[in-house]
Structure 1
């Protein structure tokens, strides 16, 4: 079959683009079996079926096209866009991950010099930016599960590759969440296993720095994970309560305001121990964190998260006070000032939150009372000036939503 040319489509290929738009996976599967249908055919703009499916957010369709050999790195688009770029623009993290897992290149630029991550950031799809910046293929980790050279056994037992890859791929760098990921897998939550995993993280960190296309961001993340695994191992050696004790230490807040001092110091120490002192990223992190007094903003976690994942600090989202997961919705029923994923996270944090909960409740009540007083003054002031009935009704409904 001839090489695809822009706009040179058979009737079946034209129909394929239509069923992709409609999201009819069954019909698309039938068409892909036709002899006159090329999975990498190009429309008049140079878009492949995979690009269309990615941009329209059709995950099942993307999976089908990849199974039929779709070229994830095709860049015949008139502006140099790739399927990964379209996935980022769509805002679908599952499709973005699918493109990456299929071998999508992250450093390709379009006609205006933007990568997929930069394009996603430009349109505000920060979750997709995070997925791209944190992607680490399983194949790269599996390299360490096979003996190399004269080695009699691999550096990483194959049974640990899956659990460790899950930790690596986490876009939530909150140390509590990381420890929870370790604790939930019995294979990983052992001193010997953690030691081997930590060594692999150090090797990957070194490789990221020394390779030709140096990746300081990934190196920093691997170093951070290595430090966390080391801390988990030390707690497993010394504590009877296992990793629950480490989680409790990370969540423990100071009496005055509940700020987790141990967690802050731990993250700062992880950054300080980064072994490549000349790294630009390390210097940026130090300049951002060093002048800040512990307990003030920005925290070490927020600075590290923004540097590694690409998430900006002013994102309009709620994060769990315990584990840092995005999208938390359940607030403390007493003070309403802290937010959690679920009752498990609230219970985990209650031992430290209860010390400041009453103070926060009093602050909230004072704020509400002050707001009510100001609204009353404004209302009385308007009445004295002889406002119309219409003005009074408008003011009432405005106040109701304050």
Structure 2
């Protein structure tokens, strides 16, 4: 989960968006295009734009910046009993891939085609497709991703439904949502997990070999 500083930021959100946009545009326009980095930066840019739009509207309604960010985070984490995915998060990530401007990219075509085969609301999630596309099948298979922030080194799990978390902070942040869905999650989150047989040291070594 993002750690919010109490110190006012000296760089405006619009400046951040501009810089990320410029770096993104360079990836496929240079002589040797970098498809993977291009898609990574696009997802970051798309999510930042959506977050900025939401937060700006709340701030204009006299909400504090930090409070608005937390409201947006909770909106993305919204989950209803019986659902296999967080629908707001799923929509955001699917829209991010669909909006990628360079449709000639082989990586984009592969991810979009794979994602389209899974009906909305079912698993695998858009997050899982993105991880596999950008970092490979191996990382997806051996990592436990925090259900709140997405960190790939989650070591804690709900004792009932086995949903992974990277920290007590993330688990507490998700708890108001999780507690009403826990029993429902338990009903489908029952497949044997190959990730239980790999040590944290092995996982960190594999992550270290990935060019992020």
TM-score (norm 2): 0.75
2:51 aligns with one of 219, 229, 232: 232
Does structure 2 conserve the Cα–Cα contact (< 8 Å) formed by 1:318 and 1:326?
yes
For the aligned residue pairs, the C-alpha RMSD in angstroms reads: 2.7
- Between the aligned partners of 2:124 and 2:144, the Cα distance in structure 1 is 17
CA distance in 2, matches of 1:350, 1:312: 30
Q: How many residues align?
A: 183
Q: Which has the higher contact order (CA 8 A, sep 6+)?
A: 2
Distance in 1, Cα, partners of 2:154 & 2:161? 13
Deviation at 1:243, TM superposition (A): 0.4
Alignment map for 1:150-189 (pairs within 5 Å): 177=1, 180=2, 183-184=4-5, 186=7
> Following superposition of structure 1 onto structure 2, how do residues 3-402 of structure 1 map, counting pairs within 5 Å?
177=1, 180=2, 183-184=4-5, 186=7, 193-239=12-58, 240=63, 241-257=67-83, 259-310=85-136, 312=138, 314-333=140-159, 335-360=160-185, 363=187
- Which runs of no fewer than 5 residues in structure 2 stay unpaired? 189-212
Question: Structure 1's 184 and 251: CA in aligned 2 closer, same or farther, altered over 3 A?
Answer: farther
Runs of 4+ in 1 over 4 A off after TM superposition: 184-188
* Aligned partners of 2:84 and 2:123 also within 8 Å: no
Q: Where does the alignment leave 5 or more consecutive residues of structure 1 unmatched? A: 1-176, 365-402
CA distance in structure 1 between the aligned counterparts of 2:123 and 2:139, rounded to whole angstroms: 11
8 A contact 1:258–1:355 mirrored in 2: no
Give the structure with higher Rg (CA): 1
Hey, what's the Cα distance between the residues in 2 that align with 1:277 and 1:235? 27
